[in-house]
């Protein structure tokens, strides 16, 4: 089947999508957007998090057909030209990236949080990121990054 979807503001089309193919697969393998990662492919780790109509979802759990005529925003769509989003900057500056496999999903989840809650508390950050697993950092630097991202956003 053919899937038409708006991705990062551009109308995109994927052909020969098989029933049951995930949005994650279409993004990575058909549309050339490998930012979203496929770690568990069963909704457990959050590394595939993207916005679907403005709501963060695990794209491995979304059938590509469900994205028909909808809007997807991936980690690649957060920067404005060469300027990183404040959340992306904060992850770099806080040293919240080690292997980086979890990072795209965490960045999207954190981006959603700081847009909804300008100054999130530690429990709010932990709650918002509870579906995103990281095997490397121990999460402390990730917490620091989200707090720094909130500061950066409020300063803009
Ligand atoms: S790859 Fe989607 S939740 Fe892990
Ligand atoms: S930085 Fe390696 S899994 Fe998070």
- Residue ranges lining ligand 2, Cβ < 6 Å: 97-102, 134-137
Which of 141, 140, 79, 152 lies closest to 114, judged by CA? 152
CATH of range 3-75; options 3.40.190.10, 3.10.20.30, 3.40.50.2300, 3.40.50.300: 3.10.20.30
CA 55 to ligand 2 centroid distance, Å: 23
CA 96 to ligand 2 centroid distance, Å: 9
Q: What is the residue whose two structure tokens read 């979807």? A: 5
CATH of range 86-155; options 3.40.50.10490, 3.30.360.10, 1.10.150.120, 1.10.3470.10: 1.10.150.120
Q: What is the pTM of this model?
A: 0.96
Helices and strands (DSSP H and E) totals, the chain: 5, 5
Which of 138, 67, 69, 142 lies closest to 103, judged by CA? 142
Q: Is residue 13 predicted with pLDDT exceeding 90?
A: yes
CA 143 to ligand 2 centroid distance, Å: 14
Read off the pLDDT of residues 64-94 as tens digits, 9 standing for 90 and up: 999 999 999 999 999 998 899 999 999 999 9
């Amino acid at each position: 089947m053919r899937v038409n979807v708006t991705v990062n503001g551009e109308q995109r089309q994927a052909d020969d999508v098989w029933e049951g193919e995930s949005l994650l697969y279409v993004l990575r393998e058909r549309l050339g957007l490998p930012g979203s990662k496929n770690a568990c492919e069963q909704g457990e780790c959050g590394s595939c998090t993207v916005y679907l109509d403005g709501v963060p979802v695990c794209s491995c759990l979304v059938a590509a057909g469900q994205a028909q005529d909808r809007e997807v925003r991936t980690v690649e769509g957060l920067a404005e030209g060469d300027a990183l989003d404040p959340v992306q900057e904060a992850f770099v500056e806080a040293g919240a990236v080690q292997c980086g496999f979890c990072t795209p999903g965490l960045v999207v989840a954190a981006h959603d949080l700081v847009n909804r809650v300008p100054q999130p508390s530690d429990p709010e950050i932990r709650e918002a990121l509870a579906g995103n697993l990281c095997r490397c950092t121990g999460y402390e630097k990730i917490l620091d990054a989200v707090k720094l991202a909130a500061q950066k956003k409020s300063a803009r």
